């Protein structure tokens, strides 16, 4: 069951990892309109627009979390890379279809990768095993040392990818609730 939860989290994080946007500047209307076309939107829209995370997008859809992640937020999402997700499926000896079939586990894993509020990497300077509650109720441990941020045992490989309703930090492993 833990493996399914872990896999589900990975899927969700991958969707989130593909999300990112820039806030439009207070520019003239014509420039703002042009910038809005470039801004990808909320976490889910950014993930879909990236066209790099089909399994994660499918997981978020299967778990019924699309509407939640398109909500006002803000959310901080720790998104495993596509490689992390593939490794998780292999280690768990699961197919994507098997993962998507267990929506309860999928939801638990996916929500373990989400923290309420918008936490930028600069907010984590000096963190030392800081316990942070996730949306699923369990905690992750956050640390920063010499510019490297870790979430549990996962390392942040890309930080501060902004979406209209939060921020995404890409991690190199799938997080599993304990």
Domain ranges of the chain: 2-171
Q: Across-strand partners of 80?
A: 171
C-alpha–C-alpha distance, residues 110 and 98, integer Å = 15
List the one residue out of 171, 170, 18, 10 whose CA is nearest residue 88. Answer: 10
Tokens describing residue 28: 């003239």
Q: Which stretches does DSSP call E strand in 102-153?
A: 114-116, 130-133, 139-145, 148-151
Please tell me which residue, 51 or 24, carries the higher pLDDT value: 51
Superfamily of domain 2-171 in CATH is FAS1 domain (2.30.180.10)
Helix (H) or strand (E) holding 171: strand 166-171
Express each pLDDT in 123-163 by its tens digit: 999 999 999 999 999 999 999 999 999 999 999 998 988 88
Query: 3-state class of 2 per DSSP?
Result: helix
Q: Render the burial of 56-65: b for 16+ CB within 10 Å, e for the rest.
A: bbbbbebbeb
Express each pLDDT in 41-76 by its tens digit: 999 888 787 676 677 788 888 999 999 999 999 999
Helix (H) or strand (E) holding 80: strand 75-80
C-alpha–C-alpha distance, residues 31 and 53, integer Å = 30
């Amino acid at each position: 069951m833990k493996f399914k939860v872990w896999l589900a989290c990975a899927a969700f994080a991958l969707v989130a990892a593909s999300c990112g946007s820039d806030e439009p500047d207070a520019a003239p209307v014509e420039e703002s309109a042009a910038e809005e076309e470039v801004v990808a939107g909320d976490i889910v829209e950014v993930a879909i627009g990236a066209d790099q995370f089909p399994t994660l997008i499918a997981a978020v859809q299967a778990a019924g979390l699309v509407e939640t992640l398109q909500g006002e937020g803000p959310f901080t999402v720790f998104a495993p890379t596509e490689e992390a997700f593939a490794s998780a499926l292999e280690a768990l000896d699961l197919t994507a279809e098997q993962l998507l079939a267990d929506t309860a586990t999928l939801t638990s894993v996916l929500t373990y990768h989400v923290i309420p509020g918008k936490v930028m990497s600069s907010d984590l300077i000096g963190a030392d095993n800081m316990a942070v509650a996730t949306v699923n109720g369990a905690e992750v441990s956050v640390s920063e040392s010499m510019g490297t941020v870790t979430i549990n045992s996962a390392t942040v490989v890309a930080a501060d990818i902004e979406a209209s309703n939060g921020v995404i930090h890409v991690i190199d492993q799938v997080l599993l609730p304990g």
